[in-house]
Chain A
């Protein structure tokens, strides 16, 4: 028997963990603070890579240097974001899972992951990707701008969850 979203929300809401978070007043703001700090690392690291791709920043540094410093900081904190995000869902399942802002945020996140993966793929296949003299400038700038728009939109959608609840 397939469960409806309402039933899933109700079931999560009744778990011991959800109940424990709900009665602990400081739990949700603390988890949200960790979530925001992790997104600070992700968004700022992505920004460094994106500005370098466009060429406004660190134009004299090889792309590979910038990527090896910052790309891991786009990927790894996603685990913290996932863990804290799941805790927030467990705390208030209906407020998140049934929320259009949350659903849009997840779609935008998939987009950001695809664009980041695409960048990594393009750089691996073509060593001159991101090279400001001989590399494909338009493609690099497009990837960078789409990445910046997606990460900003994810932050916006995240904040809007509170207003659709």
Chain B
């Protein structure tokens, strides 16, 4: 298949084969990946729990998002780079792994959920985001979907390591 040929080329690049062959490179990259995903999930749930009305009610949603989300994005960028590096080291196998494919789908859904909330769902944010104001049902739905998707991303990610060999 065309894609497999491209992945085979990726796997043969010097960086990819160095990660595949060097004994300590992969665990180091993987450790940074885990640290990054831990911070992605932890920081995004701070916002999700505020939207759900569970915690941080002393802060407005917009304020909390402005403060916390940059750290989520920073950690996500690190997770994406380290994840891509690990993927490159054994690209063909990962691409055929069910859990890896599922994880990509889950990440796409998480991005879509965020985009919908950000560009459509926050239209009336001025009206309800007052002090300890409660978020409307659409925002709560987005927060619930976000929490569930990120939990599933962690579960699928952990499962990849058990199904690769």
- A-side residues, CB < 8 A to B, are 25, 28-30, 32-33, 36-37, 39-41, 43-45, 47-48, 57-58, 65, 69, 152, 155-156, 158-160, 162-163
Contacts and interface: CB of A to CB of B under 8 A. Distances in A.
A47 B151 contact: no
B80 interface: no
Nearest to B41: A40
Q: Which of A33, A44, A158 has the most CB of B within 10 A?
A: A44
Contacts of A40: 37-39, 41-42, 45, 154
B34 A36 contact: yes
A57 B64 CA distance: 11
Given A29-B162, A160-B31, A43 B55 contact: no
Given A37-B154, A44-B43, A160 B38 contact: no
Given A32-B158, A33-B155, A40-B41, 20 more contacts: A25-B162, A28-B162, A29-B155, A29-B158, A40-B37, A40-B38, A40-B45, A43-B35, A43-B39, A44-B39, A44-B41, A44-B42, A47-B43, A47-B71, A65-B58, A69-B55, A69-B56, A155-B34, A159-B27, A159-B34
B31 to A, nearest CB: 4
Interface string B67-86: 11001000000000000000
Contacts of B58: 65
Interface of B: 27, 30-31, 34-35, 37-39, 41-43, 45-46, 55-56, 58, 67-68, 71, 151, 154-155, 158-159, 161-162
Contacts of B43: 44, 47
Contacts of A65: 58
Contacts of B34: 36, 155, 158-159
A143 B30 CA distance: 27
A156 B35 contact: yes
- Which secondary structure dominates where chain A touches chain B? helix
Contacts of B35: 43, 152, 155-156
A50 B45 CA distance: 18
Contacts of B68: 48
Nearest to B72: A44
Given A65-B58, A69-B55, A36 B42 contact: no
Contacts of A155: 31, 34-35, 38
